[in-house]
Amino acid sequence: MSTPTIGVLALQGDVREHVKALTDAGAQARPVRRPEELDQVEGLVIPGGESTTMSKLAVVFGMLEPLRAFVRAGNPVYGTCAGMIMVADKLLDAREDQETLGGIDMIVRRNAFGRQNESFEAAIDVAGIPGGPVEGVFIRAPWVESVGGAVEVLATYDGHTVAVRQGNVLATSFHPELTGDHRVHALFVDMVRGDRQGRA
């Protein structure tokens, strides 16, 4: 099987854990901070962290437009938690001026679970991932309030959508990179392999 090169957006957040999870899932993974580094990867993970800080740093580092262009070009992108917020077309409970990259036709509510329960773990069945539920680690996590017709809902928890995919963009409210179970990363690595074959 091919070894795709996948970047982890390294402006802020839990970059190292994603690099390890992607490596374990069969990719060559590297941090991405600059536009030139983005040009060298076939897919990108946007980690968890703090989406307000991440979007500000994206502006400061001159990465906002290159990242938007990367998504628009149809490259595979996977956002976890704050990363899910970054790939949402619209936000709730965010400041008016919080920038996102867009990519998934959905409305994401920031810190949605936070009001009920700051952080928790739950077994989550994810469509397309065989072998039983994955352990979902939720940390001041967002949920998906609503989706457009082109969006596939992959998982729900307690009646709320927590994993979605639209074309080449995947997003989860939870953090699979913290569990040692790399099946969600393996799904993303497969998406990148599939995209590479489709373009070849």
**Binding region for ligand GLN (CB under 6 A):** 48-51, 81-82, 85, 110-111, 139-140
Annotated ligand binding at 129? The verdict is no
Q: Check the annotation: does 139 bind a ligand.
A: yes
Phi-psi domain of 111 (left: phi exceeds 0; alpha: psi -120 through 50; beta: other): left
Give CA torsion, residues 11, 12, 18, 19, to 10 deg: 50
Of 49 and 66, which has the nearer Cβ to ligand GLN? Answer: 49
Residue 16 marked in a binding site? no
Q: To 10 degrees, the CA torsion angle through 62, 63, 64, 69?
A: 120
CB of 48 to ligand GLN, least distance (A): 3
Calpha distance 94→110 (Å, rounded): 7
- Specify whether the CB–CB gap between 120 and 103 falls below 8 A: no
The CB density around residue 26, as the number of other CB atoms within 10 Å, is 18
Nearer to ligand GLN, 2 or 119 (CB): 119
Catalytic residue list contains 175: yes
The single-letter DSSP state of residue 110 is T
Q: What is the dihedral of CA 90, 95, 99, 105, to 10 degrees?
A: -10
- Least distance in angstroms from the C-beta of 121 to ligand GLN: 13
Tokens of 66: 């290159």
- CB 80, min distance to ligand GLN, A: 7
Catalytic residue among 17, 81, 99, 185: 81
| Residue 140 annotated as part of some ligand binding site | yes
Query: Is 81 among the catalytic positions?
Result: yes
Is 185 known to be catalytic? no
> Closest approach of Cβ 29 to ligand GLN, in Å?
19
C-beta closer to ligand GLN: residue 12 or 166: 12
Is 110 marked within a binding site? yes
Q: Alpha-carbon distance 34 to 7, whole Å?
A: 11
Task: Give the nearer residue to ligand GLN in terms of CB position, either 13 or 76.
Answer: 13
User: Which residues are annotated binding-site positions for L-glutamine?
Assistant: 49-51, 110, 139-140
Active site (catalytic) residues: 81, 175, 177
User: Which residues are annotated binding-site positions?
Assistant: 49-51, 110, 139-140
